[in-house]
């Protein structure tokens, strides 16, 4: 068994990742947002919301066929750690996690939920173009925005090539203002 700091057997090194990858092709794709695909095709999406800190609810809603689950960070009993678990529940059930952030004056909240894997963000009480621009900048990496690069679940913990993560971030996530 290799030491934790050694590359696993059969690993290939990809300089664009700056680390060994345990798979033959290290170009793991960024997770697709099926809600965006359905809407682009002119379809209708179905959703439910979750306010309780129970990832199994998100998973069940995915199995029930809901296209996305709105994780309510404004009115629900959830914090960042709970949002992390609820996003995992969404992915387990095959549904898209969308997070309503608590406030519209905290760009860091948008950055945080995207790093946790949210594929959509609902911004409450966004009333001006300046509000929208400030929060949009939080969702995009430079040069389009001000988001810092710290790949979490949204970038599959950096197992996706950086250029794919950056390319995906230049197209808007699902936004509801």
Question: Which DSSP string corresponds to 55-105?
Answer: HHHHHHHHHTT-SEEEEETTTSS--HHHHHHHHHHHHHHT-EEEEE-S-SS
Query: Is 141 a domain residue?
Result: yes
pLDDT, tens digit, for every residue of 105-124?
888 888 888 888 899 899 88
Query: Is 112 a domain residue?
Result: yes
Say how many domains are in the chain.
1
Q: Is residue 157 scored above 70 in pLDDT?
A: no
pLDDT for res 16:
52
Instruction: Map residue 48 onto helix, strand or coil.
Output: strand
Query: Is 147 a domain residue?
Result: yes
Most confident range, picked from 4-13, 90-99, 134-143: 90-99
Catalytic pick from 10, 75, 144, 167?
75
Query: Is 120 a domain residue?
Result: yes
Query: Is 4 a domain residue?
Result: no
Q: Which domain holds residue 40?
A: 29-124+131-176
* Gap between the Cα atoms of 76 and 127, Å rounded: 22
75 is catalytic: yes
Burial tier of 39 (Cβ tally within 10 Å: 0-12, 13-18, 19+): middle
| Structure-model confidence comparison of residues 131 and 156, the more confident one | 131
pLDDT, tens digit, for every residue of 128-143?
898 888 888 887 777 7
Mean of pLDDT values over 6-17:
45
pLDDT for res 133:
85
Q: Is residue 70 scored above 50 in pLDDT?
A: yes
pLDDT for res 162:
54
- Bridging pattern class, strands 174-176 and 96-100: unpaired
* Gap between the Cα atoms of 113 and 155, Å rounded: 12
pLDDT, tens digit, for every residue of 12-47?
444 455 554 444 444 545 677 899 889 999 999 999
Q: What is the CATH number of the domain that holds 67?
A: 3.20.20.60
Query: Is 13 a domain residue?
Result: no
* Gap between the Cα atoms of 153 and 51, Å rounded: 21
Q: Is residue 150 scored above 50 in pLDDT?
A: yes
Query: Is 143 a domain residue?
Result: yes
Query: Is 146 a domain residue?
Result: yes
């Amino acid at each position: 068994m290799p030491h934790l700091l050694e590359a696993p057997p059969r690993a290939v090194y990809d300089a664009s990742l700056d680390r060994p990858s345990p798979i033959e092709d290290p170009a793991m794709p960024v997770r697709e947002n099926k809600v965006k695909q359905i809407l682009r095709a002119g379809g209708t999406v179905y959703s439910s919301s979750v306010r309780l800190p129970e990832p199994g609810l998100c998973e069940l809603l995915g199995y029930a066929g809901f296209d996305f689950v709105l994780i309510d960070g404004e009115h629900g009993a959830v914090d960042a750690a709970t949002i992390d678990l609820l996003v995992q529940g969404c992915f387990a059930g095959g549904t898209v996690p969308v997070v309503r952030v608590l406030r519209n004056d905290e760009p860091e909240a948008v950055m945080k939920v995207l790093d946790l894997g949210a594929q959509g963000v609902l911004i409450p009480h966004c009333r001006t173009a300046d509000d929208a621009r400030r929060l949009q900048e939080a969702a995009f990496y430079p040069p389009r925005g001000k988001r810092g690069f710290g790949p979490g679940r949204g970038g599959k913990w950096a197992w996706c090539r950086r250029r794919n993560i950056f390319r995906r971030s230049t197209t808007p996530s699902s936004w509801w203002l």
